[in-house]
Amino acid sequence: EVQLVESGGGLVQSGRSLRLSCAASGFTFDDYAMYWVRQAPGKGLEWVSGISWNSDSIGYADSVKGRFTISRDNAKNSLYLQMNSLRPEDTAFYYCAKDPRYRAMIMGWFDPWGQGTLVTVSS
Amino acid sequence: QSVLTQPPSVSGAPGQRVTISCTGSFSNIGAGYDVHWYQQLPGTAPKLLIYGYSNRPSGVPDRFSGSKSGTSASLAISGLQAEDEADYYCQSYDSRSYVFGTGTKVTVL
């Protein structure tokens, strides 16, 4: 069974940094693109970033470009999101998600999703 | 700001059929990019419901179906059940970015 477990969320002051992790199991991690998607409390979904299976292709939403960095360690079956210069509007549940297609990334979809980790940025 | 527009809410009695629209433009759905649908039950993570407009992952009941027309897509739920009460989101691709719909809350009366 595919499992994605996020960690690293918490309360942080505006302008500070936080690093999220996503531990993957139940599949060959280094064959699949991975993503981060966030959801502000009571709001809709927003794609944050994505990384290809071999880290050759990386993309970011305009709202986080230049502040967030996605990375992966295939040896540790882990996905990361380094978040710098955090703002109150970054407050959200952050979900990691897997692209279900073998070694593909562009124009994908998200399946499955982790349970999410909450990031709260205070002003 | 979402580029895919959905109605904020739809409702129906048990057993009825409801549809949720997802209206895009020529830079996303109209450009031929696929549309996918997710169901988010209260307090849980989203779950894939439909991919590639009309394909159901294993385990998703055939009461759920998807379609496309021009720059829009639709999700239909037939034989509405109490456990279908949830938020539903469409998702596509636009300008090198993944985009979601505004979300629709389905209420079972």
Determine whether the interchain pair A59/B102 forms a contact, defined as Cβ–Cβ distance below 8 Å: no
Alpha-carbon distance of A61 to A24, in angstroms, equals: 23
pLDDT tier, B1 (very low <50, low <70, confident <90, very high otherwise): low
Determine whether the interchain pair B47/A107 forms a contact, defined as Cβ–Cβ distance below 8 Å: no
> Using beta carbons and an 8 Å cutoff, which residues of B are at the interface with A?
2, 33-34, 36, 38, 44-48, 51, 57, 89, 91, 93, 96-103
pLDDT score of A106 = 78
The model's pLDDT over A76-101, given as tens digits with 9 standing for 90+, comes to 999 999 999 999 999 999 999 999 99
Q: CB-side exposure of A20: number of CA atoms within 13 Å?
A: 33
Alpha-carbon distance of A117 to A92, in angstroms, equals: 8
The model's pLDDT over B51-86, given as tens digits with 9 standing for 90+, comes to 998 999 999 999 999 999 999 999 999 999 999 999
Sheet order of strands, A3-7 included: A3-7, A18-25, A78-83, A68-73
The alpha carbon of residue B101 is apart from the nearest alpha carbon of chain A, in Å, by 8
Pairing of strands B86-94, B104-108: antiparallel
pLDDT tier, A107 (very low <50, low <70, confident <90, very high otherwise): confident
Residue A100: how many other CB atoms lie within 10 Å: 18
